[in-house]
Amino acid sequence: MNAEIDISNVKLETERLILRPWRITDLDDFFEYASINGVGEKAGWEHHKNKNESLEILKMFIAEKKVFAIVLKKNQKAIGSIGIEECRHDLNKNLEKLLGRELGYVLNKDYWNKGIMTEAVSKVIDYCFKTLKLNFLIASYFNYNIESKRVLEKTGFKFYKDIIVKTRYNTEEKSTLMFLKNKN
Ligand SMILES: CC(C)(COP(=O)(O)OP(=O)(O)OC[C@H]1O[C@@H](n2cnc3c(N)ncnc32)[C@H](O)[C@@H]1OP(=O)(O)O)[C@@H](O)C(=O)NCCC(=O)NCCS
């Protein structure tokens, strides 16, 4: 079900953004948003307590080759991430033969509500469907996270099912799994 992904030589461009692989030199930008309480928590992970923690995750992003840095063209700052992750949810049997992945994303709080993640997610959908030829994408949001719900609605995802997500900080969050089919 999970397609092979390698974004290590991929660079995508939108009006305001460059989506490219993470680099070690992005550490300060990464730590800037990952260390703010209440940002990563909405995506299921605890904010980073020191730069070394960010460095370890950054090295993992680079090694795993499936997470884009979202870079603002106007100042070349890395302001968020968007990952083409493995599907970790039970899906209908008829999807098992098809290729799919799960999108996950986080944005620096200073840049919220400017349509930036919608712009980034739209481009990654395009890449997944037109270049990688995936059959479908899924994504989930905690039900209290209206902003993430809106991003998924605006990019065409539809309700798939209700789920419970266990976070890395050991809570269980009522969540919604959303689904997008490749109609190309
Ligand atoms: C979710 C997140 C990526 C959204 O990024 P963004 O660039 O601000 O998203 P956009 O600007 O493209 O869209 C946000 C939408 O939420 C809406 N919104 C924001 N706060 C809202 C609120 N309190 N109530 C209702 N709608 C709200 C905005 O109005 C906008 O919708 P609109 O275009 O219909 O007006 C960002 O909030 C974030 O990084 N959150 C923390 C991490 C996270 O939640 N990741 C997702 C895990 S599933």
Q: Is the CB of 118 under 6 A from ligand 1?
A: yes
pLDDT (tens digit, 9 = 90+) per residue, 3-62?
789 999 999 999 999 999 999 999 999 999 999 999 999 999 999 999 999 999 999 999
Contact at 8 Å (CB) between 68 and 7? yes
Tally the domains of the chain: 1
156 domain residue, yes or no: no
Q: Is the CB of 181 under 6 A from ligand 1?
A: no
Q: Is the CB of 43 under 6 A from ligand 1?
A: yes
21 domain residue, yes or no: yes
pTM, 2 dp: 0.97
Residues shown for the chain: 184
The whole domain housing 25 covers 12-137
CA of 157 to the centre of ligand 1 (A): 15
176 domain residue, yes or no: no
Structure-token pair, residue 176: 């919604």
Give the DSSP H or E segment for 146: helix 146-154
Dump strand ranges (E) for 5-157: 12-13, 17-21, 67-72, 77-85, 100-107, 136-142
142 domain residue, yes or no: no
User: For position 121, what pLDDT does the model report?
Assistant: 99
- Per-position DSSP letters for 58-70, written without gaps between them: HHHHHHHT-EEEE
CA of 115 to the centre of ligand 1 (A): 8
Residue 175: which of 132, 139, 143 has the closest Cα?
Answer: 143
117 domain residue, yes or no: yes
Q: How many CB atoms lie within 10 A of CB 143?
A: 13
Q: Is the CB of 6 under 6 A from ligand 1?
A: no
7 domain residue, yes or no: no
Nearest CA to ligand 1 atom 16: 147
User: For position 3, what pLDDT does the model report?
Assistant: 76
User: Would you call 100 helix, strand, or coil by DSSP?
Assistant: strand
Contacts of 130 (CB under 8 A, 6+ apart): 184
- Domain with 22 in it: what CATH number? 3.40.630.30
Q: Is the CB of 42 under 6 A from ligand 1?
A: yes
User: For position 184, what pLDDT does the model report?
Assistant: 79
Contact at 8 Å (CB) between 121 and 14? no
103 domain residue, yes or no: yes
27 domain residue, yes or no: yes
